[in-house]
A = this chain, B = another copy of it.
Amino acid sequence: MIIVMKPGASQLAVNHVVERIESMGLKSHVIVGTERTVVAAIGDERGKVKEELETAAGVDRVLPILAPYKMASRELRERTIVRTRDFECGDSKIGVIAGPCSVESEEQILAIARGVKAAGATALRGGAWKPRTSPYSFQGLKQEGLKMLAAARDATGLAIVTEVMAPEHVPIVAEYADVLQIGARNMQNYLLLQAVGETRKAVLLKRGPAATMEEFLLAAEYILDRGNQQVMLCERGIRTFEEHTRFTLPLATVPYLHEKTHLPIVVDPSHGTGKATLVSSMSRAAVAAGADALIVEVHPCPENAWSDGYQTITLEAFETLLAECRRVAEAIGRTI
């Protein structure tokens, strides 16, 4: 940690900073520059100390040196591979999660499960509890939806990925699902992160649309810290000034996170663009950028989907998409 003093900060102020640093169990080192004095604090700086020093008299700002996360860091481990049923993610084979936004009926989810499985998907997505912006929108079939997902798994062998919205739902969702999804709106719902951290189910953690990489990795840290190592990070688009897409999909997240963490990186081109016509190109781009898995919204008839139809593609489009992605994957030495 580097503490930058204000121009003309008094010796007293510098001494005070030194004392605080040492009272935290860190070593200090004062460097007198031509215009500014800076104090280096040596040792493990993680915790609340940065905030304390920022407020001390004569301090201009505090620059952290160490990343605030530990267990998510690539310094800990080279890579994590998440495997559940036929789904695999983090190694050379790219995982493919596909399915409708919402589970609508057993018939619907079975038909989609069979369709996406035939096209090459290894996991089935489908919402049973749906967080919706408006209280007047369809909120999901809840436990009935979970049962329909389980039936689809029984019929196809696909791993089931579904969202869990509250700590008290974790047991019931974990009973049916193979992968617990934390939605973007809940990325910083810490009680929920801790609850899924207590299970040993794989977790798909979606990036909040305004979350920095540090916040995203610290959210993962909450899960890892409870002992659950099966965490996948999912880029699903951020909120920017762009208005021609619903969100802006920043694919540089993929190689950046691969430098920083051992966790596998999933890309969601459906939410990441919010436009069905862009999903296919962005899926190919995600694979080329090094994504470890894709999660795509698919419905036999997007116009009739109960939610998210505008960003959902048909089964036919999904088959073409996967065929294209397979060729791109091979071009970079991976498989789908």
Contact = CB atoms under 8 A, between A and B. Distances in A.
A189 B84 CA distance: 29
A178 to B, nearest CB: 23
Interface stretch (A105-113, A129-137, A145-153): A129-137
Interface string A117-140: 000000000000001111111110
Contacts of A83: none
Interface stretch (A44-52, A90-98, A154-162, A198-206): A44-52
Contacts of A66: 35-36
Number of identical monomers bound together in the oligomeric complex = 4
A308 interface: yes
Interface in A288-336: 288-290, 302-310, 312, 324, 327-328, 330-332
Given A281-B289, A282-B289, A288-B287, A47 B137 contact: yes
Interface in A249-288: 249-252, 254-256, 259, 272-273, 275-278, 281-282, 284-288
Contacts of A256: 244-245, 275, 278
A245 B327 CA distance: 29
Contact of A167 (B32, B168, B273, B307): B168
A104 to B, nearest CB: 12
A51 B131 contact: no
Given A135-B221, A213-B242, 4 more contacts: A29-B31, A168-B168, A285-B288, A328-B332
Shortest Cβ-Cβ A-B pairs, 10 listed: A210-B210, A288-B288, A327-B331, A55-B309, A255-B281, A285-B289, A185-B188, A284-B288, A285-B285, A331-B331
20 contacts: A33-B65, A34-B44, A36-B65, A54-B310, A55-B309, A166-B166, A166-B191, A185-B188, A210-B210, A210-B239, A213-B244, A238-B241, A240-B248, A250-B250, A251-B285, A252-B272, A252-B273, A252-B275, A281-B288, A327-B331
